[in-house]
Amino acid sequence: MKASVDADLCTGCGLCEDTCPEVFEMDGEVAKVIVDTVPAEAEDTCREAAESCPVEAIAVEE
């Protein structure tokens, strides 16, 4: 599974980092993905972060 953040949409709320710090981290005012492949143990929280993003800036590919 891979995750990505659309920096143009991201509002920097930090919800993704709070939900799944294994995959997301804030880089100034926008979130970024810090792994190439989402670890198996973080897949559920990564999906939760994507679904919770208020501006739908996170994409998850299986």
Residue 53 sits in a domain of what CATH number?
3.30.70.20
Which pLDDT does position 30 carry in this prediction?
97
Distances in Å between the Cα of 45 and the Cα atoms of 34, 51, 62 are: 15, 10, 14
pLDDT in the model for residue 60 = 98
pLDDT digits (tens, 9 = 90+) for 49-62: 999 999 999 999 99
pLDDT at 43: 98
> pLDDT tens digits for 3-50?
999 999 999 999 999 999 999 999 999 999 999 999 999 999 999 999
Give the domain range for residue 51. 2-61
d(CA 8, CA 42): 25
Q: In the prediction, which pLDDT does 58 show?
A: 98
Name the nearest CA neighbour of 5 among 53, 61, 47, 59: 59
The tally of domains found in the chain comes to 1
pLDDT at 9: 98
